[in-house]
Amino acid sequence: MHADTIVALVSAGLATIIAIWVPWVAFRLALRQDQARWLREQRAQLYVDLLTEAHAEKEHLEYTLADDDTRESMRRYYTISGCHPWSAPGSAPVEPSSPARP
């Protein structure tokens, strides 16, 4: 073999290796970045959910611990989920109607 042929084969082999290796490495790095971004987004959503739940619990605790006059004034501004009109503090309990039987 001539030196020119050897140089051409070696450079073609290196070009092939580089042509395969560079996109593979770039794909791996992009995949790692995408996974890290997804984790950050999930963590951020979790933090928002935790802060929202903590704020709601704080508001509910303030409402629960308040005296009746304060609670009446707060009732206009706060909506407490799960608090039905018949279970409001100070109101008489109302039994739900039973279904009619045939």
pLDDT in tens, 47-64: 999 999 999 899 888 888
What is the predicted pLDDT for the residue at 54? Answer: 93
Q: In whole angstroms, what is the distance from residue 61 CA to residue 66 CA? A: 8
Residue boundaries of the structural domains of the chain: 3-75
18 exposed, middle or buried (CB, 10 Å; 0-12, 13-18, 19+)? exposed
Whole-model pTM?
0.46
pLDDT band at 74 (very low <50, low <70, confident <90, very high): confident
Asked whether the predicted pLDDT for residue 87 surpasses 60, the reply is: no
Where do runs of H (alpha helix) occur along the chain? 3-65, 68-75
What is the predicted pLDDT for the residue at 51? Answer: 94
Q: In whole angstroms, what is the distance from residue 56 CA to residue 68 CA? A: 20
Comparing CA positions, the residue from 51, 66, 93, 53 lying closest to residue 75 is 66
Higher pLDDT, 84 or 42: 42
Roughly what angle, to the nearest 10 degrees, separates helices 68-75 and 3-65? 130
